[in-house]
Amino acid sequence: MTAIIVGAGPAGSTAAYVLAKGGHDVVMVERGDSAGCKNMFGGRMYSHALERVIPGFWEEAPVERAVVRETVTFIHGGRSVSVVCDNPRWAAIPPHSFTLLRAEFDSWLASKAEEAGAMVACGIRVDDVLMADGKVVGIRAGEDEMLADVVIAADGVNSVLAQKAGLAKMFVPSEVAVGVKQVIEMPAAEISRLFQLGEGEGAVELFVGDCSRGMQGGGFLYTNKNSVSLGLVVGAAALQRGEASPFDMLEDFKAQPRFSRVLEHGEVGEYSAHLVPEAGINMVPKLFGDGMLVVGDAAGLVLNLGYIVRGMDFAVASGEAAAKAVVEAKSTGDFSRHGLSHYKKLLDDSFVLRDLTAYRRAPRFLENQRLFEQHPRLATELVSDLFTVDGGPPRRLGKTVRNRLRGRTIAHLVADGWRGVRGL
């Protein structure tokens, strides 16, 4: 057996697809009863990485809607200020990103790997890696053992296999966030009407401020075909201190007046929670070892810039790179750490480690509490002042801005702006 892949997410399935398409024997083992059945992700995928692996994938894959509108909203004290960007669907083919539901999408991508010749084994929990002379040579699932030249760990953010192989350590709370989400089901036509979208068009909305109660994090809304994904992502370290319950925070977030139309016309069909890697390049483990490669969330390959969150394109690209590294190693018969080191070079040459390295300061920048409390308050109050007419003295623009930007406020704004320019 050339490779055993543990985990049938985007990274694992892409690696299985590329290897099987090249004629290599590969088994992909998934703990769930089917690929994607235990994945609670409901968000967006940037299309460029998978388009390179499966050209035109979006014409057959179960994507939800092509994203044509991006909105970032600051919320404080019942006020809100939004920045909106419209991108016509025809501006790029394929569309640069799609909303999707991973339970359906992961199942489809795993089926593509199976069609290419990979063996997909579901309902199997992998308990350990098999070692021989310090090298990973296979996996153990219960009392069963399976051998392979390479094991690819695609088992998610808390990768047990990478830890057991000595390539990764258990994450600390400051490196991850907790995402909580509800899927609100409603007719497709109603979603298009409420969000003023054309057929097949979707919207993504991000929220900063009161929704996270001043803690690192924010809210999100994604339009699907027949549902809306509404939720929060909040730093695990703050939640660990017991400052708030994610469920209570989500209920408060849903109470925002702007969501009343969605809730009025929809019905909650699913509630879920999951961990999200947040530390960027700073939490990437050893990516390769003797007989093992680490991909996707298991490798911490997620980038959060506040206004953009990327993970699936990194997962797909890392799965492709892992498969190519295995092919290279097989050609030389060297599956040692040295023989698999080509994986790191492929990631270095791609957007994956390039982008994570370029934004290496972003996680530290986003730890600044002022971004989630003071600045949303300033933005909403300032804009509210500009649009308020109450018969009082004239509110000239310059004076209004100066009144809000005083002393430490302007000093913090300048300092945070400079850090943001450097980090983002």
What tens digit of pLDDT does each residue of 219-252 get?
Answer: 999 999 999 999 999 999 888 887 678 889 999 9
- Token pair belonging to 270: 């699913």
Q: How wide is the angle at C-alpha 70 spanned by C-alphas 66 and 71, nearest 5°?
A: 145
3 state DSSP class of 191: helix
Work out the average pLDDT over 365-391. Answer: 87
Per DSSP, the residues of 62-90 read ---EEEEEEEEEEEETTEEEEEEEE--GG
Nearest Cα to Cα of residue 14 among 60, 66, 54: 54
pLDDT confidence of residue 315 = 97
Residue 170 burial by Cβ neighbours in a 10 Å radius (0-12, 13-18, 19+): exposed
pTM reported for the whole predicted model:
0.93
Rounded Cα gap, residues 122 and 167, in angstroms = 25
Work out the average pLDDT over 338-342. Answer: 97
Query: Average per-residue pLDDT in the chain?
Result: 91
CATH topology of domain 174-277: D-Amino Acid Oxidase; Chain A, domain 2 (3.30.9)
Work out the average pLDDT over 26-53. Answer: 86
What tens digit of pLDDT does each residue of 149-172 get?
Answer: 999 999 998 899 999 999 999 888
Rounded Cα gap, residues 403 and 379, in angstroms = 13
Q: CA 412, 415, 421, 424 torsion: positive or negative?
A: negative
pLDDT confidence of residue 111 = 96
Rounded Cα gap, residues 362 and 378, in angstroms = 22
User: What is the distance, to the nearest Å, from the Cα of residue 400 to the centroid of all Cα atoms in its chain?
Assistant: 39
What tens digit of pLDDT does each residue of 121-140 get?
Answer: 999 999 999 999 999 999 99
Which of 136-145, 232-241, 407-416 has the weakest average pLDDT?
407-416
Say if strands 288-289 and 292-294 run parallel, antiparallel, or are unpaired.
Answer: antiparallel
Rounded Cα gap, residues 287 and 352, in angstroms = 13
- Are 293 and 9 in contact by the 8 Å Cβ rule? The answer is no
Q: CA 176, 96, 42, 156 torsion: positive or negative?
A: negative
pLDDT over 80 at 385, yes or no: yes
- Token pair belonging to 53: 């692996």
For residue 332, what is the DSSP state? Answer: H
- Token pair belonging to 48: 């460029």
Beta pairing partners, 176: 277
pLDDT higher at 332 or 238: 332
Block residue for tokens 């200020």? 81
What percent of the chain lies above the pLDDT cut of 70?
A: 96
Work out the average pLDDT over 44-52. Answer: 95
- Are 28 and 51 in contact by the 8 Å Cβ rule? The answer is no
CB-based contacts of 416, cutoff 8 Å, min separation 6: 368, 370, 371, 375
What tens digit of pLDDT does each residue of 343-377 get?
Answer: 999 999 999 999 999 999 998 888 888 899 988 98
* Residue 405 pLDDT level (bands cut at 50, 70, 90): confident
Other beta carbons within 10 angstroms of residue 99's beta carbon come to 23
Per DSSP, the residues of 349-386 read HSHHHHHHHHTTTHHHHTT-GGGGTHHHHHHHHHHHHH
User: What is the distance, to the nearest Å, from the Cα of residue 313 to the centroid of all Cα atoms in its chain?
Assistant: 9
What tens digit of pLDDT does each residue of 173-222 get?
Answer: 889 999 999 999 999 999 999 999 999 999 999 999 999 998 899 999 99
* Residue 91 pLDDT level (bands cut at 50, 70, 90): low
pLDDT confidence of residue 262 = 84
* Residue 386 pLDDT level (bands cut at 50, 70, 90): confident
pLDDT confidence of residue 261 = 81
pLDDT confidence of residue 188 = 95
pLDDT over 80 at 401, yes or no: no
Domains of the chain by residue range: 3-54+102-171+283-349, 174-277, 365-423
For residue 174, what is the DSSP state? Answer: G
Angle between helical axes of 342-349 and 312-332 (0-180°, round to 10): 140
Residue 123 burial by Cβ neighbours in a 10 Å radius (0-12, 13-18, 19+): exposed
CATH of the domain spanning 3-54+102-171+283-349: 3.50.50.60
Block residue for tokens 């009082």? 392
For residue 231, what is the DSSP state? Answer: E
Work out the average pLDDT over 394-406. Answer: 73
- Are 21 and 116 in contact by the 8 Å Cβ rule? The answer is yes
3 state DSSP class of 143: coil
